[in-house]
Amino acid sequence: MIPATGTQEGAAVYPGLDTWRSLPIAQQPGWNDDPQLDVALTELSSAPPLVFAGEVDQLRARLAAAAQGNAFVLQGGDCAETFEGMTADRISARVRTILQMAVVLTYGASLPVIKMGRMAGQFAKPRSSNDETRNGVTLPAYRGDMVNGYDFTPESRRHDPARMVRAYHNAASTLNLIRAFTQGGFADLRAVHDWNRGFAAHPAHVRYESTVAQIDRALKFMAACGADFDALRGVEFFASHEALVLEYERVLTRIDSRSRLPYDTSAHFLWIGERTRDLDGAHVDFLSRVRNPIGVKLGPNTRGDDVLGLIDRLDPEREPGRLTFITRMGAGVIRDKLPELVETVKRSGATVLWITDPMHGNTVTSPNGYKTRNFDDVVDEVRGFFEVHRGLGTVPGGLHVEMTGDDVAECLGGSDRIDEEAFLTRYESVCDPRLNHQQSLELAFLAAESLAGH
Ligand code: PEP
Ligand code: MN
């Protein structure tokens, strides 16, 4: 067991913040005996917070609105961010794609869209196997750049605590750039709409031209009414990641000077993955003790008792905005499995936010051996999600996708069709397959049509 290394003000003594250390814990790096662990944690313990408690509270209020049907959430980004991939071009392409999707969804839902990146901290991955074997050589599996490297060598695959410090600095510079983009004029509604016009002008996307034309008319109408477009030049953009490596999350947890309560300042929103949501495990305990809004992934084997237990542990005060369930059922089963969970929550009286992750239940291997997803399955799961909530009179509150702003080939299909041959030259993900720029936008148009009831 590692001592409670953190020396950060107050947080070291806040009751319960270290209870997780005595609980069963899954998916952690094997670096506990490395003397560099203490060095890294000491450095991080005095590093400034990445986000501020007031922003986290703001997001919680926004998510409460979404849970009640008054906003819609768009959460997107890489499965696994990499240190190498943190270039200005890639970050701006991703932010731009999310903004483009958000405009389309805003129009379709006639609701404000809460924009959240799987960005600026999405560096740790749960894995189904501890090892990976290639050509008879077995090495530790890649667990995200916060833990080890993707290159298949013993040195790169070693779990290195110093990587936590790099993850922190990379998150800080990504967040800095995101803040600059989203506040500095890049997010201007008219510019974002112009990019969408470019998308719809592509011959593969003619069917979306009418939605773009409708948004065009809406913008002209706003202008004619004297809308203050300058006020629309900036947008709120929140950071989120899976809270997996608990030493990292713990050391960045700070006591808010206003409320004297603990906030995990590594991101605004944190979620617990499908593999670490054990009710009696370390992850649920730790995240139950921070004030951030918390998400939990729910796969197809989730039972009604699991969701009730999660509500009791993570949202004992039944506070709208506190708890989000991110369902990732699979297109083939969502219509069968989701209703029971939604009804169970409805009966419990809690107001949780329901978001669909149409990616993780739809992963398949292509005939040429790549981990992929079919665009049609992704779309079908989103439709199933809307259908289930419509049928039960509950709120379909958002969309969580693995996407990039680049022209990669990792998921099959889309109108500008990607086939498996393209994987040979344009498959870049180090983890799960992402929708590329065009597929992401197309999904937003299709989801907007569903939201608008077409
Ligand atoms: C992920 O979001 O990349 C992930 C690992 O998801 P899940 O926990 O739903 O499998
Ligand atoms: Mn993933």
pLDDT in tens, 202-254: 999 999 999 999 999 999 999 999 998 888 888 999 999 999 999 999 999 99
Can you give the pLDDT at residue 229?
Answer: 87
Can you give the pLDDT at residue 454?
Answer: 65
Q: Whose CA is nearest to atom 3 of ligand 1?
A: 79
How far away, in angstroms, is 146 Cα from ligand 2 center?
Answer: 15
Q: Whose CA is nearest to atom 2 of ligand 1?
A: 79
Q: Are 62 and 321 in contact (CB under 8 A)?
A: yes
- Name the DSSP letter for residue 58: H
Name, in order, each residue with C-beta under 8 angstroms of 185's C-beta and a sequence gap of 6 or more.
Answer: 233, 234
Alpha-carbon distance of 247 to 28, in angstroms, equals 9
Strand ranges for 119-261 from DSSP E = 131-134, 137-140, 238-242, 253-255
Can you give the pLDDT at residue 233?
Answer: 87
Can you give the pLDDT at residue 184?
Answer: 87
Q: Please give the chain's pLDDT, 454 residues, in tens.
A: 333 333 344 455 799 999 999 999 999 999 999 999 999 999 999 999 999 999 999 999 999 999 999 999 999 999 999 999 999 999 999 999 999 999 999 999 999 999 999 999 999 999 999 999 999 999 999 999 999 999 999 999 999 999 999 999 999 999 999 999 999 888 999 999 999 999 999 999 999 999 999 999 999 999 999 998 888 888 999 999 999 999 999 999 999 999 999 999 999 999 999 999 999 999 999 999 999 999 999 999 999 999 999 999 999 999 999 999 999 999 999 999 999 999 999 999 999 999 999 999 999 999 999 999 999 999 999 999 999 999 999 999 999 999 999 999 999 999 999 999 999 999 999 999 999 999 999 999 999 999 998 6
Alpha-carbon distance of 452 to 39, in angstroms, equals 53
Alpha helical stretches, state H, 131-161: 154-157
Give, for ligand 1, the residue of 242, 301, 306, 329 to mutate: max count of ligand atoms closer than 8 Å to Cβ. Answer: 242
Strand ranges for 273-373 from DSSP E = 294-298, 323-327, 353-356, 363-365, 371-373
Cβ 300 under 6 angstroms from ligand 1: no
Alpha-carbon distance of 240 to 76, in angstroms, equals 9
Cβ 328 under 6 angstroms from ligand 1: yes
Cβ 446 under 6 angstroms from ligand 1: no
Can you give the pLDDT at residue 207?
Answer: 95
How far away, in angstroms, is 454 Cα from ligand 1 center?
Answer: 30
Alpha-carbon distance of 6 to 251, in angstroms, equals 6
How far away, in angstroms, is 450 Cα from ligand 2 center?
Answer: 25
Ligand 1 atom nearest residue 125's Cα: 5
Alpha-carbon distance of 433 to 411, in angstroms, equals 6
Can you give the pLDDT at residue 11?
Answer: 55
Can you give the pLDDT at residue 381?
Answer: 98
Can you give the pLDDT at residue 6?
Answer: 37
Cβ 126 under 6 angstroms from ligand 1: yes
Can you give the pLDDT at residue 4?
Answer: 38
How far away, in angstroms, is 257 Cα from ligand 1 center?
Answer: 33
Can you give the pLDDT at residue 12?
Answer: 58
Tell me the per-residue pLDDT of 265-305, one tens digit each, with 9 for 90 and over. Answer: 999 999 999 999 999 999 999 999 999 999 999 999 999 99
